[in-house]
Amino acid sequence: MSPTKSDNSVPISQLLEFYERMLLVREAENRLSKLFADGEVPGFIHLSVGQEAVCVGVTSALETRDTLASNHRGHGHALSKGVELNSFFLEVMGKEEGICGGRGGSMHVADMSVGMLGANGIVGAGIPLAVGSALAHQVQENGAIAVAFFGDGALAEGVLHESFNLAALWKLPILFVCENNGWSEFSPTGRQFNANVRELAGVFGIPSAFVDGDDVLAVNEAASELVTAIRAGEGPYVLECVTHRVRGHFEGDPQKYRAESEINSLPDHDPITKLETIISKRRIPKKEVVAIRGTIEARINAAVEAGRGGNAPDFSRAKADVYTAVEEV
């Protein structure tokens, strides 16, 4: 574990902001879980419940101009990078007014206006996209950086290795964030990957940091340091965040492959509970926490209602978006 700042050094306002942002992701996903069970969210969804400290901790270190490529477990990445909540729900519920017009759904939420280059249905595929985005930042000298989020399940993908190599060769402004939740879909990563991500990065000469991914303060502190270094032109970094996946690989996965003891221990790792403990130690009036909870619930209720009120996507509009319309000369 890398050393973290003492909890007392973090301003109260920032603690509450982390809390609100993590709670937004958590409650949004809890609601999606219910909507999925009720048949209001079609397709399949992959929830990141339990991993909220990583996306919030990292994105809190970023600027809007920075870009982010995500993966299939990407609701947290999208919401914490700034995708608007209503258009997020509209999208995941498959509506015309969704951020992607109902074309992509849960696995393809993207918002170019906030640098969210998209969740991705292909394991590892977002990583080279982030590399390319970092290349664009470098060529354009715009001071932005790119972030690639991936799970430990992507470690065995060849494009990860290629991307580490290329980013290191070209000293690209990119932060590789590995959310190590120990599970590659239905298999323990120990059976999937015969190395670890920081050793792998080291082989390519990429420096790395390792944090408790359930501690949003630790994640944010490490990410902020790395982002500063990357923005200064030091080239790529890897940040490994050890975290815990509470839900199954996808909603509906009964997780028969996980030991009861492991599942029972999950609440001990809950990043939101951990932050609540810190907050309570800082003697923050409980009503502020309650107020945040109320705000989040109200926002999500509104977003769900917006989602329900959205229209079915128009087929001809969808079809017209396969290619860019070329104006007749």
Partner 1 sequence: MADVRYAKAVNMALDDAMAADPAVVLFGEDIAEAGGPFGVTRGLLEKYGDRRVRDTPISEATIVGAAVGAAMSGLKPVVEIMFMDFVTIAMDAMVNQAAKARFMFGGQCSVPLVLRTPHGGGVNAGPQHSQCLEAWFAHIPGLKVVVPSNPSDANRLLKSAIMDPDPVVFVENKAMYSLKGEFDDASETIVIGTAHVARSGDDVTIVSYGAAVNTALQAAETLAPRDISVEVVDLRSIQPWDEATVLASLARTHRLIVLHEAVTAFGVGAEIVARMSDIGFDELDAPIKRVGAPFMPTPFAKSLENQYLPNAKDVIAAVEQVLA
- Tell me which stretch binds partner 1 (CB under 8 A): 70-78, 120-128, 189-197, 268-276: 120-128
310 binds partner 1 (CB under 8 A): no
138 is an interface residue for partner 1 by CB under 8 A: yes
Contacting partner 1 (CB under 8 A), which of 11, 39, 287, 323? 323
Which DSSP symbol is given to 107? Answer: G
To partner 1, the closest distance from the beta carbon of 57 in angstroms equals 23
* Rounded least distance, CB 17 to partner 1, Å: 27
Number of residues that bind partner 1 (CB under 8 A): 48
Min separation Cβ 273 and partner 1, Å: 35
| Ranges within 143-172 binding partner 1 (CB under 8 A) | 146, 158-159, 162-163, 165-166, 169-170
Helix residue ranges, H only, the chain: 12-37, 52-59, 75-81, 85-92, 126-140, 158-170, 197-203, 216-231, 260-265, 271-281, 286-309, 315-320
Cα distances from 201 to residues 6, 76, 239, in angstroms, run: 29, 25, 10
> Under rule CB under 8 A, which residues in 65-94 are in contact with partner 1?
67, 69
Does 139 bind partner 1 (CB under 8 A)? Our answer is yes
Using the CB atoms, write b or e for 17-34: b if 16+ within 10 Å: ebbbbbbbbbbbbebbbe
**Shortest Cβ distance from residue 144 to partner 1 (Å)?**
8
Is 132 a binding residue for partner 1 by CB under 8 A? The answer is yes
Residue pair 164/87 in contact (Cβ under 8 Å)? The answer is no
Does position 307 bind partner 1 by CB under 8 A?
no
The answer to whether residue 206 forms part of the interface with partner 1 (CB under 8 A) is no
Residues 6 or more apart in contact with residue 283 via CB below 8 angstroms: none
Q: Which of 111, 152, 240, 251 binds partner 1 (CB under 8 A)?
A: 111
Stretch that binds partner 1, among 125-133, 190-198, 209-217, 299-307 (CB under 8 A): 125-133
Question: CB under 8 A: which stretch of 51-59, 100-108, 183-191, 287-295 binds partner 1?
Answer: 100-108
Q: What are the tokens at 39? A: 């048949």
Long-range pairs of 20-23 with CB within 8 A, sequence gap ≥ 24: 20/292, 20/295, 20/296, 21/56, 21/60, 21/79, 21/80, 22/52, 22/53, 22/56, 22/216, 22/271, 22/272, 22/275, 23/272, 23/292, 23/293, 23/296
Q: How far is CA 194 from the centre of its chain?
A: 25
Residue 99 is a binding residue for partner 1 (CB under 8 A): yes
Chain positions contacting partner 1, by CB under 8 A? 67, 69, 98-104, 108, 110-113, 117-118, 120-122, 125, 127-140, 146, 158-159, 162-163, 165-166, 169-170, 318, 321-324
